[in-house]
Amino acid sequence: VVLGNIGSDYEDSRHNVGFDVVDMMAKDADVSWKQETLGDIAEIKHKGRILVLLKPSTFMNRSGKALKYWMDKENIPLENILVVTDDINLEFGTLRLKTKGSNGGHNGLKDIQNVLQTANYNRLRFGVGADFGKGRQVEYVLGEWSETEKNTLNERYEKTTELIQSFVLDKSSQLFLKLQFHLDQ
């Protein structure tokens, strides 16, 4: 489940980094998105596993509704869910994968926690940095990437895809209790 906002006004924004990652995954797997209830769905196969990719149509701050609907519809246990989102608390180029934790002030994660009634779910945070002035957070996360960031996005999306695929193949590994790395290291 990737968090973001639907519509052309939000394309290529930092807040939609998850949408961009799964769009790349679907394109690489040569599968199309289907508009469904509460979101767009694509299914891809990876090493014998089927990944159900969800881009909620409920907008960022109501992501929990779509997640819960598709968990119930597809009978997916909570431990098999991975939520991918942007994070201003992480430097650009940092990925953090955890099995539980706080919402870090992220409204999409707050909604998921409220709907699921737990903070114990897997999340992959993609660092977008915090290069904005006081009172400019919304403008920053809904804004487009800088030219410097754009030059490295494809590589970073590939690494994010690899991490998602690794999670799917071995989500029980102790490696995934808490993993963080900066892509430039």
Active site residues: 15
Task: Give CA separation, 25 vs 52, 113, 160, in Å.
Answer: 11, 26, 10
> What's the rounded Cα separation, in Å, for the pair 56 and 35?
10
Cβ–Cβ < 8 Å for 98, 175: no
In DSSP terms, 41 is beta-bridged to 34, 54
Cβ–Cβ < 8 Å for 126, 84: yes
The count of C-alpha atoms lying within 13 angstroms of the C-alpha of 183, restricted to the half-sphere facing its C-beta, is 24
> What's the rounded Cα separation, in Å, for the pair 164 and 91?
20
